[in-house]
Amino acid sequence: MLIWSIFAIAPAAQSHRMGTMQRSLTLICAGLLCLLVGLAACAPPQNLRGPRLVSDVGLTLTAPSSANESLAGRTPIIEEAPPVLPLPTLPADVLVVTPTLPPSKTPTQTPTFTMTPTQTLTPTITTTATATALALPTSVISPMIEIVAIPNNQICDTNWFFLQPRPPGCPLNVPNATNGVYQTFQNGLMVWVRSQDAIYVMYNDTGLPRWQVYRDFFEEGMPETSSEFDNAPSGLYQPRRGFGMLWRSNPSVRDRIGWATMRDEMPYSVQVQTAQDGSIYISTPFQGVLGLMPTGTGWSLFSSTPAINNAIFPTQVFVPLPTVYGN
């Protein structure tokens, strides 16, 4: 604006004012120079810790390929590494606390419980004291016959309680004389031997076994009969006491031997003796002898010779039961 004002002055004074204008321009340039020098003096000092050039990096340029012909003649640009910042130094009395992370929880396996199958208890069937016997083989029934005396020269320490039939060999024990009971049935008979507390059952059929022996569970005070079996056919009877208890509680015996053919059982003095082969000989109240073969294979009824006199039986002696004894 100042320059344009100078040229606007009249031509008469133009020469004088041109000189003045030059001096003004000189002063203005000098002022600007002083201002620049002052500004340069007030600038902050240069950071001496900045990156310094240690050596020039020489790059060997190769000829550009045909694919990079457009880059030929260009000057490669080398980028400077970023400045490394200095690490702050803390005073010696300053305690640096490094935070410690809490320990990570180690996952623990949660125990699993496997259900153990509960054993189911099988109900135990409580059985009553039912008389049972072991199954034995059978044999053919032998009718009552008269047996001719057989000579036997063997001398035994103990005599048989009967003379005929003469068993082979010697008896294992002296005669066992004790109280007994005898009763006949449709298809057999029963004999009770008190010293053995046993009931011998003989069958007249051809089934197996031919005879059995049971324990007598009857005791005084128990019911002798049962109204359930008061329907016996005419001329037949329900057995009583020990025979009746065995007969009622054991259907197999009841069905096989049938109803009793005697109203009451017959008490008598019975003798029992065992042979060496295991045969058992039992006297009857009718002067007969029952011969029971070993293991229930058969039995026979013999007439004794001479007749057995129950009044002169020897003293009672206990005789063990045979191995075929049932519970």
How confident is the model over 126-145, as pLDDT tens digits?
545 555 444 433 333 334 43
What pLDDT is recorded for position 245?
A: 98
The bridge status of strand 299-303 relative to strand 142-145 is: parallel
pLDDT over threshold 80, residue 162: yes
What pLDDT is recorded for position 63?
A: 52
pLDDT in tens, 55-66: 555 555 555 455
Count the residues in the chain: 327
Q: In this prediction, what percent of the chain has a pLDDT beyond 90?
A: 39
User: Which of the pair, 324 or 165, is modelled with greater confidence?
Assistant: 165
User: Which of the pair, 274 or 143, is modelled with greater confidence?
Assistant: 274
What pLDDT is recorded for position 155?
A: 84
pLDDT in tens, 97-134: 555 565 555 555 655 556 655 555 555 555 455 554 44
Inter-residue contact 54 to 60 (CB < 8 Å)? no
- The answer to whether the peptide bond before residue 44 is cis (omega within 30 degrees of 0) is no
Inter-residue contact 130 to 113 (CB < 8 Å)? no
pLDDT over threshold 80, residue 69: no
pLDDT over threshold 60, residue 48: no
pLDDT over threshold 70, residue 39: yes
User: Which of the pair, 45 or 136, is modelled with greater confidence?
Assistant: 45
What pLDDT is recorded for position 19?
A: 75
| pTM for the model | 0.51
**Dist CA 308 CA 284 (whole Å):** 9
Secondary structure string (H, E, C) spanning the chain: CHHHHHHCCCCCCHHHHHHHHHHHHHHHHHHHHHHHHHHHHHCCCCCCCCCCCCCCCCCCCCCCCHHHHHHCCCCCCCCCCCCCCCCCCCCCCCCCCCCCCCCCCCCCCCCCCCCCCCCCCCCCCCCCCCCCCCCCCCCCCEEEECCCCCCCCCCCCCCCCCCECCCCCCECCCCEEEEEEEEEECCEEEEEECCCCEEEEEECCCCCCCEEEEECCCCCCCCCCCHHHCCCCCCCECCCHHHHHHHHHCHHHHHHHCCECCCCCEEEEEEEEEECCCCEEEECCCCEEEEECHHHCCEEEEECECCCCHHHCCCCCCCCCCCCECC
What pLDDT is recorded for position 327?
A: 40
What pLDDT is recorded for position 18?
A: 76
pLDDT over threshold 60, residue 317: no
Q: 108-117, 156-165, 259-268: lowest mean pLDDT where?
A: 108-117
Query: Mean pLDDT across the stretch 251-272?
Result: 97
User: Which of the pair, 217 or 136, is modelled with greater confidence?
Assistant: 217
Q: Identify the CA nearest to 158 among candidates 143, 138, 172, 137.
A: 172
